[in-house]
Structure 1
Amino acid sequence: MACLLAQYNSGDILMKYSNVIVSGLCMSMVSLATAAPTEVPSDEPVTLRIISSMATRQFLTEVIAQFAQQSKYQVELESVGGVDATKRVEAGEAFDVVILSANAIDKLIDSGKILPNSRIDLVKSGVAIAVKEGAQIMDVSSEETVKQAVLAANTIAYSTGPSGVYLTEVFEHWGIAEQIKDRIVKVPPGVPVGSLVAKGEVELGFQQLSELLHLKGIIILGPLPTDIQIMTHFSAGVPLKTNQQKAIKVLLDFLASPAATEAKIKNGMEPI
């Protein structure tokens, strides 16, 4: 492991997030045949271009490497902040597959950038809490202890994605939002919260477990307690203008198959 784990070792954390039964992972791709442009025949090797959020980068990198070994298709993966990825798709940049939070995919469908009915749910991921290696270890096993840890921290950071919006609501519900507002460090899209924690720029960081697991210089205190945990679903969608339907279907079937389960769990996510 690249980071130290306090209270939970990697097995403990991943078991907490991966106690699921994998079933029903095959999804319909009928819309690709009916709504998308006709695939262009070619003797040239097919390379699929994917854009994803940072939360899914590790598992996608691993699974795509497996896919490339077993198929005739190649894949170029670019992982950026979810906000930036959405803006680029909205602006019309060409991709063959988009993998973002389910809510973001739905909005892109509504705006006409993603094919209706092409959404395939791949994984879900929860939020964990981290401090810098060598910092005081705090109890985060209950809602109250997390609240006290937040109140004790001089600086706090969380992502700009769905989990960050949720945490803002939690702090408001606790009645401490005004008290801690000057301690919140705004993190630019695509910048890992854990990297700021590792540098000592932030005392207490909240981020997707999948993004924290492989970072050096931090201690993962544990996941958010069950009663305040938020699970973000990440889904794939197919852009309206792609012309590689056959290759895309093969790739998405693989990403949603049991063959990808081990990589998902190992990287702090749960299959859906």
Structure 2
Amino acid sequence: MPRFIVPALLFLVAGMLSADARDLRILTGAGMSMPVRALAADYGKRSGAQVTVVSDTAGGVQKRIEAGEAFDLVIGTQAVLDALTRQSKVSATHSDLAQMVAGIGARKGTAKPAIADARAFKATLLAAKTISYVDPASGGITGVFFLSQADQLGVGQEVRAKAVLKPNGTGVADAVASGQAQYGVTLISEMLPNAGVTVWPLPDDLQMSTIYTAALASDAQNAMDARALLDELSGPRGRDASIKAGLKPVSH
């Protein structure tokens, strides 16, 4: 057998495998990363699609897409997806998935802080030595939200003086677990994966109302798998995964 036949066959097989592989690229807000990654990994195993999940702050997701980063499915805040729709970056059809739930985290083993209501939460913030939250400059809406709540409580200046700023919620959780910060305030879904942190939801009168929603890219290269995964995220399995991640599912 001529020597060139084996390399030629290998090249042909590699080409066939490459053609069969279906890439599915997802951009998601960090607060939805936990349920999205769980369902995406399972979907990839069952479907054969090569799924890539990239998470960032809400503002970071928007900047990535506006800069031309390729994606098939995006999960972000309603405000971000509305902006991307106006730019014709995503489909005008959006699917609401879950409501953000903000919480306060402390190092594992720490007693639950007083957060039963706004007055108790204010006292806890004043007594805290250090508080970590997402730097608003990074594009994360939880930092903006937390500071607005602190300002409404009349302790915004004090909170800023104790700040341990991080680029994302994962960094906030790490700061708390390592002892760099006494408390961390961000999305529960961003702190739960860190075993060194215990987290409690903020009181209802201080809670977030922001919704995570999803849409396909206007020029999605793999719309078939993107739609199939979105159906799962919008269905019972997505609901269960969102609850497990500390998010509040929305009614469809």
Taking structure 1 as the reference length, the TM-score comes to 0.77
Q: Answer yes or no: is 1:258 the counterpart of 2:236.
A: yes
Q: What residue is the counterpart of 1:215 in the other structure?
A: 194
- The amino acid across from 1:262 in the alignment is D
2:174 equivalent among 183, 189, 195: 195
AA in 1 matched with 2:20: E
Q: Is the 8 A contact 1:82 1:190 kept in 2?
A: no
1:140 to 115, 134, 137: 115
Question: Aligned residue for 2:222?
Answer: 244
Counterpart of 1:59?
35
In the TM superposition, residue 191 of structure 1 has moved relative to its aligned partner by: 4.5
Q: Give 1:231 deviation, angstroms.
A: 3.1
| C-alpha RMSD of matched pairs (Å) | 2.0
Aligned counterparts of 2:221 and 2:188: Cα–Cα separation in 1: 35
Does 2:185 align with 1:206?
yes
Structure 1 residue 238 displacement after superposition? 1.9
Question: Aligned residue for 1:74?
Answer: 50
**Secondary structure, in 3 states, of the residue corresponding to 2:85?**
helix
Asked whether the equivalents of residues 169 and 191 of structure 2 are also in contact (C-alpha less than 8 Å), the reply is: no
Secondary structure class of the residue paired with 1:192 = helix
Quote the Cα distance in structure 2 between the aligned partners of 1:269 and 1:175. Answer: 28
Q: Deviations over 1:91-113 (max 9, x none)?
A: 01111111112221112222332
Deviation at residue 229 of structure 1 after TM alignment: 0.8
Matching residue's letter, 1:175: G
Q: Secondary structure at the match of 1:186?
A: strand
Distance in 2 of aligned mates of 1:226 and 1:167: 14
Q: How many residues align?
A: 229
Cα contact 2:169–2:190 (8 A) shared by 1:
no
Name the structure 1 match of 2:69.
Answer: 93
Partner letter of residue 43 of structure 2?
F
Larger radius of gyration: 2
1:162–1:232 Cα contact (<8 Å) kept:
no
Equivalent-residue separation in structure 1 for 2:218 and 2:40 (angstroms): 22
Deviation, 1:216, is 2.0
1:129 equivalent in structure 2: 104
Deviates more, 1:136-145 or 1:202-211: 136-145
Partners of 2:68 and 2:189 in 1: CA distance: 29
- Alignment partner of 1:178 is 2:178: no
Q: Does the C-alpha gap of structure 1 residues 77 and 176 become closer, same or farther in structure 2, counting only changes over 3 Å? A: same
Match of 2:245 in 1: 267
**Other structure's SS at 2:186 match:** strand
Structure 1 SS opposite 2:181: coil
Structure 2 residue 93 is the aligned partner of structure 1 residue 118: yes
- Structure holding more helix per residue: 2
Query: 2: distance between equivalents of 1:180 and 1:252?
Result: 39
Q: Name stretches of at least 5 consecutive residues in structure 2 with no aligned partner.
A: 1-17
Q: Calculate percent identity across the aligned residue pairs.
A: 29
Shift of 1:190: 6.3
Change (3 A) 1:174 1:65: same
Which digits, 9 at most, give the CA deviation of each residue in 1:114-165, with x for residues without a partner?
A: 22x2321111221111112344542211111110010011211222422321
1:244 is displaced (CA, Å) by: 2.4
Aligned residue type for 1:156: I
Within 1, Cα distance between the matches of 2:47 and 2:193? Answer: 28
**Unaligned segments of structure 1, at least 5 residues:** 1-41
Tell me which stretches of 4 or more aligned residues in structure 1 moved more than 4 Å.
Answer: none
In the TM superposition, residue 72 of structure 1 has moved relative to its aligned partner by 4.4
SS at match of 2:166: coil
Q: What letter corresponds to residue 176 of structure 2 in structure 1?
A: V
Amino acid at match of 2:151: E
Contact preservation (8 Å) 2:58, 2:141? no
Q: How far apart are the structure 2 equivalents of 1:158 and 1:111?
A: 31
User: Residues 125 and 189 (structure 1 numbering): CA distance in 2 closer, same or farther, change over 3 Å?
Assistant: closer
